Amino acid sequence: MSEKRGKLIVISGPSGAGKSTVIQKLMEMRSDLCFSVSATTRAPREGEVEGTDYFFVTRDMFERMVRHGELLEHAEYVGNYYGTPSRYVEQRRAAGKHVLLDIEVQGASQVRSRIRDAITIFVIPPSLETLRQRLRDRGTDSDTVIQNRLKRARAEYKEATFYDYIVINDDPDEAAHELDSIITAACCRFEERGELLKL
Ligand code: 5GP
């Protein structure tokens, strides 16, 4: 087992910011990084795999996990519950791996207050106009749903002030590179390496 605990990295951003693509690219770049699979009560979307994308659970099961203290954080988002199982995060960090959470702003706030040295990153599109265009191009949402998503994005932007870093996803490869650099820089901080200076 590695001596140094892995870091906890929290990524949030509005729906349509392209977070999932960027995270996928980042995961391919770093073998020291693990993705924390969340539990959710929302129904699986086409192509989503149990245990890879989410653990799909009933509301009863989710509430039991909350009662038993099994979640590091949890939140309700658009009528569904989402939460991060603590055990995986703890085990991987203890084994020296960095753990990445893709969670919304309420959950990120809970993590920030519980884990002081968590690294928090907010991913945004180049502009709200780009976001509107991406949501339209996806073709899955009605105009009303798109309006609601944009309204939510504006509210989420206010929460972005509490994050450590902002990454702009204009080009997913560049955005993944920025995330990679943030993790590398965090590992080079004095408090990580200062003890190597002891003579
Ligand atoms: P989706 O339903 O589109 O997969 O996710 C909706 C939102 O829930 C996204 O912003 C995603 O980051 C967030 N989310 C996914 N898993 C978790 C979780 O475990 N906790 C919290 N708080 N949010 C989550």
pLDDT in tens, 79-132: 899 999 999 999 999 999 999 999 999 999 999 999 999 999 999 999 989 999
What are the residues facing 35 on neighbouring strands? 100
pLDDT at 2: 47
- Global pTM? 0.94
Quote the tokens at residue 86.
């603590």
CA separation for the pair 150, 136 (Å, rounded): 11
Q: From the centroid of its chain, how far is CA 55?
A: 16
Q: Whose CA is nearest to atom 19 of ligand 1?
A: 83
Ligand 1 center–CA 81 separation, angstroms: 9
Percentage of residues of the chain with pLDDT beyond 90: 79
DSSP three-state, residue 174: helix
Question: Which of 12, 57, 82, 112 has most ligand 1 atoms within 8 Å of CB, for mutation?
Answer: 82
Q: Whose CA is nearest to atom 3 of ligand 1?
A: 15
